[in-house]
């Protein structure tokens, strides 16, 4: 029976505005090599995106050690969770323990208090062969394998009575077997398996997060890897865009060993993409050497997070806790601001020690070839990519709705509310959208198409502040005349 109503009633409808779904603006997608033998599941940690919200999660997913030279993913893990404390990150490890491996030669190890330490890094625990005399011991029954803080395997005997020595052989992972081709990766037509940078395609379908920054510390110094990274910044899943932070080579063979080498090395590397933030040289924190891309990408993500996840702030002149600059081999680099500005003029970013270390540089790699503000300035370029991604995420649910004035009004109203809000917060100079009748003909509408024009004006950085000083004789005269 229908309800019987008598009197005055009120009914509230839900707000018609579409709730924005903003992708994590500075989400780092880190591609490279990790010590997967230390992971919880070493054989399922290769060429698949792993998300981590903490250092512990990253370590469990792909393993961790302080050997940044062989395991570049660890640089970004350390930079993100220990240096900047920013989360989440997405990790794509390319080291395959079934392929990138070598034999652990048979060797005798002393047993001390029921335990033997294997002095070779990279041991695959399940591949160990442990013997006492001629008798082979059984894993988990006669011994258990754990790893110490340095990543070395510890064999602990269940019953060590009378055992003073173990003979051990097995298999270890081999990061030296990784080549740039593994980082670039590819797609196997026969198996449908994706590897390396190709796995970036899986980030959104699997994690429902859009990449914000692609990073491959160290490997990105190779021109072919950097070119592949630049190519992956657009057309992600056919629609999304992002930026990347890459390194300029500093090695003795072909790298920029001093600031005056930066231009020629950049040009030789072919780094001209508007989606690339090129970094030079490396940085040092204590006795650790990091490729600058690891620190800079984490710093960008950290800056975004403190700005309501809106990438409108310049990542330049932001304080970062480094100890100094160096080349990859540890050679110290001493830059002053004048030299750092020369590096910036080449479309390369660096660091500046002016009452404390800070990032230094606003230009993408396309500068000075192009001075278009949306492509030249890093924060403007990222704002455009972020806005486009946000638009796609927000209105994908409206695809296949009726193509009518009500839908047009809803999109225009929602986007203009968003633009006005961000402008009022000082996150951009302004942003608005319009639907133009001339660009949406009847034939277009009958064909299921609609087109909008978005006007975006992110703030450009105040990169050059000039104060003109002038001697004023009238002030001097006034001092003697008492102002008369």
In tens, the pLDDT along 440-452 reads 999 999 999 999 9
Q: In the predicted model, is pLDDT for residue 22 greater than 70?
A: no
Please answer whether residues 200 and 154 qualify as being in contact, where contact means their C-beta atoms are separated by less than 8 angstroms. no
- Cα separation of the two ends of the chain: 96
- pLDDT band of 482, cuts 50, 70, 90: confident
- The pLDDT tens digits of the residues spanning 279-319 come to 999 999 999 999 999 999 999 999 999 999 999 999 999 99
- The pLDDT tens digits of the residues spanning 163-188 come to 999 999 999 999 999 999 999 999 99
Q: Look at residue 14 in the predicted model and tell me its pLDDT.
A: 54
Please answer whether residues 243 and 383 qualify as being in contact, where contact means their C-beta atoms are separated by less than 8 angstroms. no
Phi/psi-derived region of residue 53, left when phi > 0, alpha when psi is between -120 and 50, beta in every other case? alpha
Strands (E), 227-316: 243-247, 276-279, 282-285, 288-290
Token pair in block for residue 184: 């670039």
Q: Look at residue 24 in the predicted model and tell me its pLDDT.
A: 80
User: Which comes out higher in pLDDT, residue 5 or 405?
Assistant: 405
- The pLDDT tens digits of the residues spanning 91-104 come to 999 999 999 999 99
Q: Phi first, then psi: give them for residue 265, nearest 5 degrees.
A: -70, -40
What is the domain partition of the chain in residue ranges? 28-95+192-378, 101-173, 403-484
Q: Look at residue 3 in the predicted model and tell me its pLDDT.
A: 62
Please answer whether residues 296 and 245 qualify as being in contact, where contact means their C-beta atoms are separated by less than 8 angstroms. yes
The Cα-based distances of 239 to 38, 117, 183, 191, 345 in angstroms read: 36, 51, 23, 25, 32
Q: In the predicted model, is pLDDT for residue 151 greater than 60?
A: yes
Q: What DSSP character marks residue 197?
A: G
Q: What is residue 410's three-state secondary structure?
A: helix
b/e code 399-433 from CB counts within 10 Å (16+ = b): eeeebeeeeeebbeebbeebbeebeeeebbeebbb
Q: Look at residue 10 in the predicted model and tell me its pLDDT.
A: 59
3-state secondary structure 4-19: CCCCCCCCCCCCCCCC
Q: Give the span between the Cα atoms of 136 and 168, in whole angstroms.
A: 10
Chain centre to alpha carbon of residue 442 = 44
User: Which comes out higher in pLDDT, residue 10 or 432?
Assistant: 432
- pLDDT band of 20, cuts 50, 70, 90: very low
> Of 222, 225, 354, 221, whose CA–CA distance to 281 is shortest?
221
Instruction: For the beta carbon of residue 163, count every other beta carbon within 10 angstroms.
Output: 16
Instruction: Note the pTM of the prediction, 2 decimals.
Output: 0.93
Q: In the predicted model, is pLDDT for residue 21 greater than 70?
A: no
Which residues are registered as beta bridge partners of 349? 279
Query: DSSP for 72-115?
Result: THHHHHHIIIIIS----EEEEE---TTTSEEEEEEEEEE-BTTE
- Name every residue whose Cβ is closer than 8 Å to that of residue 66 and which is 6 or more positions away in sequence: 74, 78, 288
Q: In the predicted model, is pLDDT for residue 483 greater than 70?
A: no
- The pLDDT tens digits of the residues spanning 324-350 come to 999 999 999 999 999 999 999 999 999
> Of 290, 311, 78, whose CA–CA distance to 211 is shortest?
311
Over residues 245-249, the mean pLDDT reads 98
- The pLDDT tens digits of the residues spanning 49-93 come to 999 999 999 999 999 999 999 999 999 999 999 999 999 999 999
Q: What DSSP character marks residue 263?
A: H
Q: Look at residue 13 in the predicted model and tell me its pLDDT.
A: 55
Over residues 218-222, the mean pLDDT reads 98
Class (C level, CATH) for 101-173: mainly beta
- Name every residue whose Cβ is closer than 8 Å to that of residue 364 and which is 6 or more positions away in sequence: 243, 273, 274, 275, 276, 277, 347, 375, 376, 377, 378, 381
Q: Look at residue 452 in the predicted model and tell me its pLDDT.
A: 96
What percent of the chain has pLDDT above 70?
Answer: 95
Please answer whether residues 222 and 232 qualify as being in contact, where contact means their C-beta atoms are separated by less than 8 angstroms. no
- Name every residue whose Cβ is closer than 8 Å to that of residue 266 and which is 6 or more positions away in sequence: 248, 256, 278, 346, 347, 348, 365
- The pLDDT tens digits of the residues spanning 194-216 come to 999 999 999 999 999 999 999 99
Over residues 394-422, the mean pLDDT reads 96
Q: Look at residue 141 in the predicted model and tell me its pLDDT.
A: 95
Q: Look at residue 97 in the predicted model and tell me its pLDDT.
A: 98
Q: What DSSP character marks residue 274?
A: T
């Amino acid at each position: 029976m229908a309800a019987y109503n008598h009197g005055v009633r009120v009914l509230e409808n839900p707000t018609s505005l579409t709730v924005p779904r903003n992708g994590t603006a500075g989400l780092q997608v880190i591609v490279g090599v990790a010590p997967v033998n230390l992971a919880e599941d070493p054989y399922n940690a290769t060429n698949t995106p792993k998300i981590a919200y903490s250092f512990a999660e990253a370590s469990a997913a792909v393993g961790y050690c302080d050997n940044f030279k062989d395991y570049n993913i660890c640089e970004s893990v350390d930079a993100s969770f220990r240096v900047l404390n920013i989360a989440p990150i997405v990790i794509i490890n390319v080291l395959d323990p079934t392929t990138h491996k070598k034999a652990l030669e048979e060797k005798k190890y002393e047993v001390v208090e029921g335990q033997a330490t294997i002095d070779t890094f990279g041991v695959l625990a399940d591949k160990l062969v442990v013997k006492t005399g001629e008798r082979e011991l059984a894993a988990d029954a006669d011994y258990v394998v754990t790893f110490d803080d340095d990543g070395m395997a510890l064999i602990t005997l269940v019953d060590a009575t009378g055992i003073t020595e173990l003979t051990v052989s097995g298999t270890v992972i081999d990061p030296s077997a990784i080549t740039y081709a593994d980082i670039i990766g590819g797609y196997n037509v026969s198996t449908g398996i994706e590897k390396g940078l190709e796995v970036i395609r899986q980030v959104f379908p699997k994690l429902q997060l859009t990449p914000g920054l692609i990073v491959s510390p160290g490997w990105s110094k190779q021109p072919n890897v950097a070119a592949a990274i630049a190519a992956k910044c657009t057309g992600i899943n056919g629609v999304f865009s992002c930026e990347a932070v890459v390194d300029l080579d500093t090695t003795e063979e072909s790298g920029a060993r001093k600031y005056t080498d930066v231009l020629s090395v950049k040009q030789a590397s072919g780094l001209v993409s508007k989606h690339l933030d090129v970094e030079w040289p490396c940085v040092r924190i204590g006795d650790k050497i990091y490729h600058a891309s690891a620190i800079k990408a984490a710093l960008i993500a950290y800056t975004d997070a403190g700005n309501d996840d809106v990438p409108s702030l310049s990542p330049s002149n932001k304080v970062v806790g480094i100890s100094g600059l160096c080349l990859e081999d540890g050679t110290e680099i001493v830059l002053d601001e004048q030299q750092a500005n020369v590096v910036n003029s080449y479309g390369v970013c660096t660091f500046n020690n002016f009452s404390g270390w800070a990032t230094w540089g606003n230009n993408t790699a396309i500068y000075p070839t192009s001075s278009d503000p949306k492509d030249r300035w890093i924060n403007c370029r990222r704002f455009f990519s972020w806005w486009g991604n946000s638009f796609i995420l927000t209105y994908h649910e409206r695809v296949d709705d009726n193509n009518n004035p009500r839908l047009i009004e809803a999109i225009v109203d929602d986007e203009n509310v968003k633009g006005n809000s961000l402008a009022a917060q000082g996150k951009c100079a302004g942003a608005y959208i319009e639907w133009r009748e001339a660009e949406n003909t009847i034939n277009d509408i009958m064909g299921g198409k609609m087109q909008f024009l978005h006007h975006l004006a992110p703030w450009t950085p105040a990169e050059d502040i000039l104060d003109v000083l002038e001697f004023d004789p009238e002030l001097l005269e006034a001092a003697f005349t008492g102002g008369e």
